[in-house]
Chain A
Amino acid sequence: MENGKRKAVVLLSGGLDSMLAARLMLDQGIHVEGINFFTGFCVEGHTHAVREDRQKRNLRNSALHSAEQLGIRLHIVDVIDEYKDVVLNPRHGYGAHLNPCLDCKGFMVGKARAWMEQNGFDFIVTGEVLGQRPMSQRRDTFPVIARESGATDRLLRPLCARLLPETLPEREGWVDRERLLGLSGRNRKPQIALAATYGFEYAQPAGGCCFLTDENYAHKLKDLWQSRGERRYDFDDIMLLKIGRHLRPRPHFKLIVGREAGENRFLEGYRNRFVHMWALDHNGPLVLLQGSADDADLDLAASITARFGQGRGALTVRVAVGQPGGLLGERDVKPLPAHALAAEWYL
C-alpha cells in the first residue's frame, strides 16, 4: 500500500481495453502503474517509422500515449530473449498463423506477477474481455492464464469481472465489484462509448497488435527457419522481416530489397552483418543478402539489385558488392528482365 492506497500493475498494450481497465481502477482510488512488454513482434508502426513516404503519420508509441492520458507511470520491458520460448514451444499451440496467444498471455501475466512481487504491488489488471478473442479470452482459458502465470486470484479483469468469479481485490474490498463491468463478446460499442465519456484517444491497429498474427509475416518467419534447418531467430532477424521486399531466388540465399529511401537507410545499419549491394551509376535500393552465395549467385543478386533500381532499362549496370568489413568488388550486370523475376521468389 502507498498512502493507504492499494497498488495495481496494469498490462498496458496501448489499445483501448487496457486503457479503460486502468481508468476503472483509478476511478476506485487504486494506485496504478502500467507495464508493457516488448517481444520484438509488437506492431508499433515500425514500417511507418522506417519508410520516409509514410512519416507524415503521427509516429508514437501507443502504450506511452495511453499512460500519458491516464497520468500513470509506464514500465516498458524488453522480453525479446525470454519470449523466444513462447514462440518456439507454445504449450497450447498456435492460432491461425504463428500466434501463440494463450501462452503469450500467460507469459505476460507471469512477468507482471513477478514485477508485482518485486515492487510491492497488490494485484494485476488486464483489459481482457470475455469472448473477445478466440484463443486467450474465453471462459475456459481465463483460469489457465491465472493458474499458469501464478497470478491466481490476484488477476483482475475489470471490463468483464462481473461475469467471472470474485478475485482477491474484490473479496478484500480493495475494489468495489459493483463498479466493475460485465462486458462480453466481440462487440466493441460499449468500450467505444466509454472512451468517448473519458475523452480518450486510442490506437485501433487494423491488423491487430502482433506480427505473429500476420499471414505474410508468419510465412517469412517459417521460410527463415526452413532455410536454416532449425527453428531459431535473433532480434535482427525478426526486425528485418518487417522491412523491404524479401525474395528467395535460390534455396541457400535470400535478398532483402529496400523499397524506398527510409528502408535503405534502415538497411544501412546491417552493412556490417551481411553481404550487400547497390547500383553505382543509378539510384536504387540497398540490398542485403542473407545466406551463402557463390559467384554465379552474386551475379544473379546483382542483376536483381539492378532490376529494382532506376537503371532497370539500361544495358548494363555497375553494382557494388560489400561485405562486413569492406568492399568485395564491383560487377557489371544486365538488369534482370521483369519476366525473369519469378513470382515464387517473393516471400
Chain B
Amino acid sequence: MMPHLDARYLLCPMPVIRVSACVAGLSTGDVLTVRCTDRGALNDVPAWCRLEGHEVLQAEADSSGDVVLTILVHK
C-alpha cells in the first residue's frame, strides 16, 4: 500500500518534520504521498528531499487548493 501523510493545517516547518519522520520508516523505492495546506510546503518539502537525496515525483496545488507532493524514497 502506498503510504499517505496528512499534513493539512500544519504550518512550516511541521510538514517537513512530519515528512522526515515518515520517510525514516520507509525503504528505497517506497512512494509517499503528502497532502498539505501550507503552500510553503511546495518549496520546503522538495528542498528537504534534495538535501536528503529523495526524488520528488509531483509537487502541485490541486483543485481544492491543497498542496500534494509525491516522493520517491532513496536511502
What residues of chain A have their CB less than 8 Å away from a CB belonging to chain B?
36, 38, 42, 44-46, 49-50, 55, 58-61, 63-65, 67-68, 72-74, 76-78, 239, 265-266, 268-270
Q: Which of B8, B13, B47, B48 contacts A44 (CB 8 A)?
A: B13
Q: Roughly how many angstroms separate A16 CA and B44 CA in the complex, as a whole number?
A: 19
10 closest Cβ pairs, A-B complex: A269-B9, A59-B40, A60-B43, A64-B47, A44-B12, A61-B44, A49-B40, A46-B11, A49-B38, A76-B13
Q: Interface 1/0s, chain B 34-65, versus A by CB < 8 A?
A: 00011110111001101110000000000001
Q: Roughly how many angstroms separate A53 CA and B65 CA in the complex, as a whole number?
A: 14
Q: Does B20 contact A (CB under 8 A)?
A: yes
Given contacts A61-B16, A269-B37, 16 further A-B contacts (CB under 8 A): A38-B13, A49-B40, A50-B11, A50-B38, A61-B43, A61-B44, A64-B44, A64-B47, A64-B51, A67-B47, A67-B51, A74-B48, A78-B17, A239-B11, A268-B9, A269-B8
Q: How many A-B residue pairs have CB under 8 A?
A: 75
A68: chain B residues at CB < 8 Å are: 47, 50-51
What residues of chain B have their CB less than 8 Å away from a CB belonging to chain A?
8-9, 11-14, 16-17, 20, 37-40, 42-44, 47-48, 50-52, 65
Q: Could you tell me if A38 and B14 are in contact, using CB atoms closer than 8 angstroms?
A: yes
Q: Could you tell me if B13 and A59 are in contact, using CB atoms closer than 8 angstroms?
A: no
Instruction: Give the shortest distance, in Å, between A48 (CB) and chain B (any CB).
Output: 8
B20: chain A residues at CB < 8 Å are: 76
Q: Roughly how many angstroms separate A36 CA and B17 CA in the complex, as a whole number?
A: 11
Q: Could you tell me if B51 and A73 are in contact, using CB atoms closer than 8 angstroms?
A: yes
Q: Which of B13, B42, B65 contacts A36 (CB 8 A)?
A: B13
Q: What residue in chain A is nearest B42 (Cβ atoms)?
A: A59
Q: Roughly how many angstroms separate A49 CA and B38 CA in the complex, as a whole number?
A: 6
Q: Roughly how many angstroms separate A78 CA and B13 CA in the complex, as a whole number?
A: 9
Q: Roughly how many angstroms separate A78 CA and B12 CA in the complex, as a whole number?
A: 11
A55: chain B residues at CB < 8 Å are: 39
Q: Could you tell me if A61 and B14 are in contact, using CB atoms closer than 8 angstroms?
A: no
B42: chain A residues at CB < 8 Å are: 59
Instruction: Give the shortest distance, in Å, between A83 (CB) and chain B (any CB).
Output: 14
Q: Roughly how many angstroms separate A46 CA and B43 CA in the complex, as a whole number?
A: 14
Q: What residue in chain B is nearest A70 (Cβ atoms)?
A: B51
Q: What residue in chain B is nearest A73 (Cβ atoms)?
A: B51
Q: Roughly how many angstroms separate A73 CA and B52 CA in the complex, as a whole number?
A: 7
Interface centre among B13, B16, B47, by most chain A C-beta atoms within 10 angstroms, is B13
Q: Could you tell me if B37 and A59 are in contact, using CB atoms closer than 8 angstroms?
A: no
A266: chain B residues at CB < 8 Å are: 9, 37
Interface centre among B11, B37, B38, by most chain A C-beta atoms within 10 angstroms, is B11
B11: chain A residues at CB < 8 Å are: 44, 46, 49-50, 239
A-B CB contact pairs (8 Å), 15 listed: A44-B13, A45-B40, A55-B39, A58-B43, A59-B40, A64-B16, A64-B44, A67-B47, A67-B51, A68-B51, A73-B52, A76-B20, A266-B37, A269-B8, A270-B9
Q: Could you tell me if A74 and B9 are in contact, using CB atoms closer than 8 angstroms?
A: no
Instruction: Give the shortest distance, in Å, between A78 (CB) and chain B (any CB).
Output: 5
